[in-house]
Structure 1
């Protein structure tokens, strides 16, 4: 099994767990599915990420950023993102920041709820 297949498998399991009736609420406290449009392809992608929320601010830490590409869609001025949060989908603007080997994606959610 190559690395891409392994990542797809893990992501699939995480998404299923976040939707499960018993463990889902616990999983959703730390994981959220994001959706975004690729800058080059124009295709819509979705992936689960670990996050922390404070009001309308979301912080996503990117583990092993050199092995992942999704966060690169948010470099520079950043771009639009949708987070499938408990209580409903929220849109926002995401900006990726790299500091050495660490990458974080900061999201400012649109509107207040």
Structure 2
């Protein structure tokens, strides 16, 4: 049975903290950063700035973020419709871009980011 409903915030916080510590690890950080980044955005409803680690694939100036268990998460909903601005940490630097979220199946969502030049 697939997971549904929001994830407990305490669990999410612990997992994110673990992932962020792996990204900065001297031993495995370089490998982890090839597949995980931190996205930063401003919430549409709250107006708060939020940062969260996500898995990604990059091809040139396009970054694709497959959202795992999208019905249990809310962050990607800030990029539905016309999308919105986003910042990603790539190659040790912050890069800005425009993100658009789309459902690509009944339980799959992909966020596509076009990086600014």
TM-score over 0.5 for the alignment? yes
Moved over 6 A (4+): none
CA distance in 2, matches of 1:101, 1:78: 20
Counterpart in the other structure of 2:114 = 108
1:14-93, aligned counterparts within 5 Å?
A: 14-93=19-98
CA distance in 1, matches of 2:37, 2:64: 11
Q: Normalising by structure 1, report the TM-score.
A: 0.94
Question: C-alpha root-mean-square deviation of aligned residues, in Å?
Answer: 1.0
**Structure 2 residues without counterparts, runs of 5 or longer:** 1-6
1:87, distance to aligned residue in structure 2 (A): 3.2
1:53, distance to aligned residue in structure 2 (A): 0.2
1:3, distance to aligned residue in structure 2 (A): 2.5
CA distance in 1, matches of 2:27, 2:91: 15
1:7, distance to aligned residue in structure 2 (A): 1.4
User: Alignment length, in residue pairs?
Assistant: 110
Q: Secondary structure at the match of 1:7?
A: helix
**Structure 1 residues without counterparts, runs of 5 or longer:** none
CA distance in 2, matches of 1:47, 1:93: 16
Q: Normalising by structure 2, report the TM-score.
A: 0.91
